[in-house]
């Protein structure tokens, strides 16, 4: 339908897009058509009856589908084809903004955020120096200060930077923590410092082991602390694990606590962990990549009590707060460390004789050189919603999780993985097909139950009506994990999800 008007572009070469003599009208027309395609996609994403995906295997996409080819041409293609390429790219992708997409912690399509992304790309600049990003760097400062005050730090405390995702934010926390204890490591390397130990819960995202390997400490330096049945780190076990590491000759320096684990959405007892860190003088990092959003809600922020005692915090607005990917911040309590730890004073960027306040040349705080502008969309969303708007958005996501939890309690064909009420918007459960409902608990039933979720997921991908992830965890065989971060999702979508799983799995 949208493509009906594209005919006017037949044979118009891309070169005419340039706004030189006469180019304006082509440029306007092209962008109007593009906007039609994007708006059409947005409306479709919000139509409950439309499919979330039109699944194709990699070989099918590589072979090319009706007018859509991945191959790169030697000759320029006309604008009409370029628009078709845009349309088809969206067509064969996944509508992560659909209210029935539950597959990832990042979902939804915030329209103000989208406008912010578009403006960001239009400005097309780089975050390394004030001379090329004056407005965006000041916005970053405003956002970081706001987030630090929400975490509970004082005016005199607080530093940080937006980085490419939570895994990188976590990497920064270890890098800076190590530098804080052993500044020589920057110039002399690992041979100048003792063998270190870092601590994290057994439900940790794998990124901590990756970071330890990358930073030259080795993934074996990561000590895994047991969790209780709800996925919370057990403080007593943390303390014994610290003692054991010391006995082995390792030097503990860093504890990673989690506010909102990836699978169960569990919150570690931050205050108790902070007490232990104080006693042993360890750096406390709180990974609130997923749980940080709860700080925006008056009703739910108490779950992060103690976070103000952290030395560093990871917080991903691209998850629960719905900012478009990517948007993640590492917040550090102690000012100046980040700069000291990373700066190398490259003369071609950070000339020491500039005529403005060079504290805004934050590029030397990072491990990158250039850095994408991730802040504008978040700043704009904050303007449009206010802090309260984020709060109600978060409340809505958690209400959906409670609703799902209540529905699951009522049904015999589903079983909750955790009996307790969800703390975050994660709800984990099994579907039990009739063929398994009579089997006694035991290895045979578990072995069969393990195959149920993947089979349902495979059918779901083919049908494209909804999307949800599954995984095993510890001794629990494959189960579904539903997560809510799209405020467009309603109770009817939750009902639909359960009916769809039961429909696809009934005959297994």
Instruction: For the CB of residue 200, give the shortest distance to ligand NAG in the complex, in Å.
Output: 5
Q: Does 120 bind ligand PLP (CB under 6 A)?
A: no
Contact 476, 453 (CB under 8 A): no
> Contact between 96 and ligand PLP (CB under 6 A)?
no
Distance, in Å, from the CA atom of 16 to the CA atom of 33, rounded to the nearest integer, reads: 15
Q: Helix, strand, or coil here: 186?
A: helix
* Site membership for ligand NAG, residue 401 (CB under 6 A): no
Q: Is 414 in the site for ligand PLP (CB under 6 A)?
A: no
- Helix 23-46 / helix 79-91 crossing angle, nearest 10 deg: 20
Among 120, 129, 148, 258, binds ligand NAG (CB under 6 A): 258
**Interacting partner of 256 out of ligand PLP, ligand NAG, none (Cβ under 5 to 8 A depending on kind):** ligand NAG
- In whole angstroms, the minimum distance from the beta carbon of 204 to ligand NAG comes to 4
Q: Which of 175, 68, 139 is nearest to 379 (CA)?
A: 139
Quote the tokens at residue 38: 């994007």
| 327 contact partners, CB below 8 Å, separation of at least 6 | 162, 316, 317, 318, 374, 375, 377, 378
Q: Distance (Å, rounded) from C-alpha 425 to C-alpha 71?
A: 41
Q: Does 205 bind ligand NAG (CB under 6 A)?
A: yes
Q: What angle do CA 392, 398, 400 make, to 5 degrees?
A: 105
The smaller minimum CB distance to ligand PLP, of residues 426 and 465, is found at: 426
The backbone torsions φ and ψ at residue 347, rounded to the nearest 5 degrees and listed phi first, read -70, -25
Strand-pairing partners, residue 30, are: none
The single residue among 41, 172, 253, 290 that binds ligand PLP, judged by CB under 6 A, is 290
Query: What are the φ and ψ backbone dihedral angles of 24, each rounded to 5 degrees?
Result: -55, -45
Residue 289 binds ligand PLP (CB under 6 A) = yes
**Range 273-292, binding ligand NAG (CB under 6 A):** 285, 287
| Binding segment (CB under 6 A) for ligand NAG, from list 54-62, 204-212, 460-468, 471-479 | 204-212
Closest CB to ligand PLP: residue number: 166
The item of ligand NAG, ligand PLP, none sharing an interface with residue 84, based on CB under 5 to 8 Å by kind, is none
Task: Tell me if 174 contacts ligand NAG by CB under 6 A.
Answer: yes
| Shorter beta-carbon distance to ligand PLP: residue 319 or 385 | 319
The 3-class SS string of 273-329 reads HHHHHHHHCCEEEEEECCCHHHHHCCCCHHHHCCHHHCCEEEECCCCCCCCCCCCEE
Total site size for ligand NAG, rule CB under 6 A: 17
**Residue 366 lies near ligand NAG (rule: CB under 6 A):** no
**Should residue 197 be labelled a site residue for ligand NAG when binding is judged by CB under 6 A?**
no
Site map for ligand PLP, 194-213, x if CB under 6 A?
Answer: -----------x-x------
* Residue 312 is a binding residue for ligand PLP (CB under 6 A): no
| Residue ranges binding ligand PLP (CB under 6 A) | 105, 165-167, 170, 205, 207, 258, 261-262, 287, 289-290, 316, 328
């Amino acid at each position: 339908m949208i493509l009906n008007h594209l005919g006017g572009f037949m044979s118009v070469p891309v070169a005419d897009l340039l706004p030189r003599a006469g180019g304006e009208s082509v440029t306007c027309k092209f962008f109007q058509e593009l906007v039609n395609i994007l708006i059409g996609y947005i409306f479709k994403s919000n139509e409950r009856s439309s499919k979330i995906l039109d699944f194709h295997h990699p070989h099918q996409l590589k072979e090319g589908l009706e007018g859509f080819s991945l191959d790169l041409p030697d000759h320029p293609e006309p604008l009409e084809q370029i628009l078709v390429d845009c349309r088809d790219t969206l067509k064969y992708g996944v509508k992560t903004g659909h209210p029935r997409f539950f597959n990832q912690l990042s979902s939804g399509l915030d329209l103000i955020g989208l406008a912010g992304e578009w403006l960001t790309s239009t400005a097309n600049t780089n975050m390394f120096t004030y001379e090329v990003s004056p407005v965006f760097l000041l916005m970053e400062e405003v956002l970081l200060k706001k987030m630090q005050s929400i975490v509970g730090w004082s005016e005199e405390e607080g530093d940080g930077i937006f980085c490419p995702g939570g895994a990188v934010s976590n990497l920064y926390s270890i890098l800076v923590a190590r530098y804080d204890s052993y500044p020589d490591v920057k110039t002399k390397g690992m041979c100048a410092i003792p063998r270190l130990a870092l601590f994290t819960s057994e439900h940790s995202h794998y990124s901590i082991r990756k970071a330890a390997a990358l930073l030259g400490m080795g993934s074996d330096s990561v000590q895994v602390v047991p969790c209780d049945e709800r996925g919370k780190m057990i403080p007593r076990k943390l303390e014994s694990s610290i003692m054991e590491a010391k006995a082995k000759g390792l030097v503990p320096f860093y504890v990673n606590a989690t506010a909102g684990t990836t699978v169960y959405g569990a919150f570690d007892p931050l205050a108790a962990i902070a007490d232990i860190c104080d006693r042993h003088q360890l750096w406390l990092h709180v990974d609130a990549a997923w749980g940080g959003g709860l700080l925006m809600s008056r009703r739910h922020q108490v779950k992060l009590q103690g976070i103000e005692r952290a030395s560093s915090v990871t917080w991903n607005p691209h998850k629960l707060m719905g900012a478009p990917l990517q948007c993640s911040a590492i917040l550090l309590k102690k000012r100046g460390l980040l700069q000291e730890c990373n700066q190398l004073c490259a003369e071609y960027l950070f000339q020491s004789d500039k005529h403005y306040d060079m504290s805004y040349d934050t590029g030397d705080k990072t491990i990158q050189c250039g850095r994408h502008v991730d802040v504008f969309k978040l700043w704009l969303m904050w303007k449009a919603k206010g802090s309260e708007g984020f709060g109600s958005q978060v409340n809505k996501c958690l209400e959906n999780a409670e609703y799902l939890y209540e529905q699951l309690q009522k049904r015999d064909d589903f079983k909750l993985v955790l009996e307790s009420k969800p703390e975050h918007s994660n709800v984990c459960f099994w579907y039990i097909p009739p063929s398994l409902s009579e089997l006694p608990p035991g290895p045979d039933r578990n072995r069969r139950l393990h195959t149920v979720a993947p089979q349902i997921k495979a059918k779901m991908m083919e049908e494209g009506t909804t999307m949800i992830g599954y995984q095993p965890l510890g001794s629990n065989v494959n189960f579904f994990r539903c997560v809510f971060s799209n405020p467009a999702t309603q109770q009817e979508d939750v009902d639909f999800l359960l009916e769809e799983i039961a429909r696809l799995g009934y005959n297994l």
